[in-house]
Structure 1
Amino acid sequence: MLAWPGRSSRVSAVLVALLCMLLGVAIATQVRDTGSGDWLDSARPADLLVVLDNLHGKEAALRQEISGLEQSLQSMQSAGSDSREALAQSRQQLAALQVLVGVAPAEGPGVVVEVTDPRGGVDPSVLLDLLQELRAAGAEVIAFSGAGDGDDVRVGVDTAVTGTAGAVVVDGVPLRAPYTVKAIGDGPTMAAALNIPGGVQDTVRRASGDVTVTTEDLVRITAVRKPEAPQNAQPGD
Structure 2
Amino acid sequence: MPGAGRDQDHQAGGRDGGGSGAVPTGAGTPAATPAAPSPETVIDPVDDVDGAHGVPEKGRKLTSAGALIGVLLALFGFTLVVQLRSNDADSGLASARQEDLVRILSDLEARDQRLQQEISGLEQSQRQLTSGVAGRQAALADADKRADDLGLLSGTLPARGPGLVIVIDPRGQQIKASQILNAVQELRGAGAEVMELVGDNGGAVRIVASSYFVDAEDGGIIVDNKQLSGPYRLMVIGVPATMQTALQIPGGVVASVSQAGGNVTMEQRTTVEVTAVRQPASLQYARPVS
TM-score range, shorter chain: 0.7 to 0.9
Quote how far apart the aligned CAs of 1:49 are. 3.2
Is structure 2 residue 272 aligned with structure 1 residue 219? yes
Aligned residues: 202
Separation in 1, partners of 2:211, 2:113: 72
- Aligned partners of 2:118, 2:222: CA distance in 1, in Å? 73
Q: Does 1:156 align with 2:188?
A: no
* 1:1-237 superposed matches below 5 A: 39-40=92-93, 42-146=95-199, 148=201, 150=202, 152-162=204-214, 163-164=216-217, 166-237=219-290
- Where 2:241 maps in the other structure, the secondary structure is helix
Given that residues 179 and 256 in structure 2 are in contact (C-alpha distance below 8 angstroms), is that contact kept between their aligned partners in structure 1?
A: yes
Aligned 8 A contact 2:203 2:226 in 1? no
| 1:211 partner amino acid | V
Task: Identify the structure with the greater strand proportion.
Answer: 1
Q: Mean Cα displacement is larger for which, 153-162 or 78-87?
A: 78-87
* C-alpha distance 70-94 of structure 1, shift in aligned 2 (>3 A): same
Q: TM-score, normalised by structure 1?
A: 0.75
TM-score by length of 2: 0.62
Cα deviation, residue 181, structure 1: 0.3
Supply the RMSD in Å over aligned alpha carbons. 2.4
State the distance in 2 between where 1:188 and 1:215 align. Answer: 8
Q: Identify the structure with bigger relative contact order (alpha carbons < 8 Å, sequence gap 6+).
A: 1
- Structure 1 regions of 5+ residues with no counterpart? 1-34
Q: Secondary structure at the match of 1:212?
A: strand
Q: Name the aligned partner's letter for residue 158 of structure 1.
A: S
Identical residues among aligned pairs (%) = 38
**Unaligned runs of at least 5 residues, structure 2:** 1-87
One-letter amino acid matched to 1:129:
N
Moved more, 116-125 or 177-186: 116-125
Cα 1:235–1:49 shift into 2, 3 Å:
closer
2:29: which partner in 1? none
